[in-house]
Amino acid sequence: MRRCLMGLIATPATLAALLAPPASAVQAPVGHIGDTLRVNDTDSNFIADVTVVDMEPSDVPPAFGYGPRWPHQRIYRASVVVRPVQVPNPYYLATVMSFDGVTLTGDAYVPRNTDAPDALQYSLLNAPQGATVAGDVFWDCYRDLPNSVVLIDRKTNFRVAQWDITQDLP
């Protein structure tokens, strides 16, 4: 009786393991600062050529909006150039793109809203297909300094692209 019960449990488990689809992951391009990467989301709603030009320390931008504490280390900014190749509307990239600064220890700094005239968040609000827009992304680096810039799709929370820093930051 016990063997029959074990057989009834093992048979469906074995069939489920054999018939399960293979696991897959989205292949995101990885480059270095200065490389232009062709990025798209998993549904191919957008295609864009994105370049992270440089990353360096910055002064406090206007209306940086501090939280309950003053910045512990430094404010860093990354200069980004985006050329939309295929977008459904001119403001679509502003709703899906998020450039995070990631450290060697895995801390991720999300971009902070600012009123800086050269902020990327405002440039992406009017980025029609074929145009080239540029702007800066600002982070409050309160632990380690970032060693890569990661483009995240806000709707799916998947990593779309990554740029590694090869030089030492000041």
From first to last of its 170 residues, what are the pLDDT tens digits of the chain?
777 767 677 677 666 666 666 555 557 889 999 999 999 887 778 999 999 999 988 888 888 766 655 655 688 899 999 999 999 999 999 999 999 999 888 888 888 888 889 999 999 999 999 999 999 999 888 888 889 999 999 888 889 999 998 665 55
- The DSSP secondary-structure symbol of 100 reads E
Predicted pLDDT at 95: 92
Which of 2.60.40.10, 3.30.70.1230, 2.60.40.1240, 3.30.230.70 is the CATH number of 28-164? 2.60.40.1240
The helix/strand/coil state of 9 is helix
Predicted pLDDT at 22: 59
Predicted pLDDT at 36: 94
CA distances from 48 to 67, 84, 104, 123, 166 (A): 33, 4, 27, 14, 24
Predicted pLDDT at 21: 64
Predicted pLDDT at 2: 73
Beta bridge partners of 118: none
Is the four-CA dihedral 121, 123, 125, 131 of positive or negative sign? negative
Round to whole Å and give the CA distance between 110 and 29. Answer: 20
